[in-house]
Amino acid sequence: MTSSFRSLMRARPALWLAACLALGAGAQAQTPPSAQAAPGLAPHRAFYELRLVKTSSDPNAPAAASGSIAYDFTGSACEGYATRFIQETDIVAQEGEGLSTQMRSTSFESADHATFTFRIESGAVNGPAEIVEGAASRETDGSLSIDLRRPAILKSDTDHEAVFPTHMMIGALEAARAGRATYATKLYDGTNSGDRVFHTLSVIGRASAEPLADATKDAPAMKDMKRWRVTVSYFDVAKPDEPPVYILSFHMWDNGVSSDLLLDYGNFQMKGELTRLELLPAKACAK
């Protein structure tokens, strides 16, 4: 159960991302999105119910699993973007042992996408939490500076040209609206130990406006809105020839809402159904 537990805790499903296409040998990253783009991202609160849909004979894979996700996205292109994320998961090992886990994260990305602060707590419910906390900034030359405070103090500069989560989401939406089938970029989101950059690869399906049988049908503002099925693969930038460390598939709506999640942890998969959606008031930019 140990490796599955760590995978669940550290491979946080980045619901505010749209999709990413991992760079293969000889592939080139596409042009980063404009920091001043007007994507029309909707502040919202979303709730998902998780259930196990596939498991393997791997002894570290669970025999049963269920859980929930609560996700808040607020802010604007004027004031920056804040996220709050809670995932609770109940896992039953193949030998019958049960384990309840929880992950909580908060983050803030500046309006110009140049700075990113985050705090992630994960661990067993009613047990000690592992905490990753820090900040990062993207310089004008594309380099990334990381200032990690927990689990250990670390300052490092890299030349990965990585973007932060909301900036990446804007880029994926721009790619989808333009009819592109893929979007590639490098990502830093503070997950794992806070010192890792990912190559990301988004595969974007065709646009659809057919209603889904989930909470989006109860949101009048989303009636006839376009969405795209997106599969995001995350690859460790230090290990480009290895399989993805995590894969997330979902419907990406034109306002940034995600639904119909599929979380692939390698030796098991969980599906996330959007059961409640609250579109929050958007604040106008100060003149």
Q: Where are the domains of the chain?
A: 2-278
Cis omega (within 30 of 0) on the bond before 59?
no
* DSSP reduced 3-state for 145: strand
Task: Report the distance separating Cα 119 and Cα 255, nearest Å.
Answer: 25
Q: Name every residue whose Cβ is closer than 8 Å to that of residue 185 and which is 6 or more positions away in sequence.
A: 20, 29, 30, 32, 162, 163, 168, 171, 200
Tens of pLDDT, residues 212-256: 888 999 899 999 999 999 999 988 888 878 888 888 899 999 998
Q: In this predicted structure, what is the pLDDT of residue 10?
A: 40
What's residue 207's pLDDT?
A: 93
The region of weakest confidence among 76-90, 186-200, 224-238 is 186-200
Query: Rounded mean pLDDT of the chain?
Result: 80
Distance (Å, rounded) from C-alpha 65 to C-alpha 194? 27
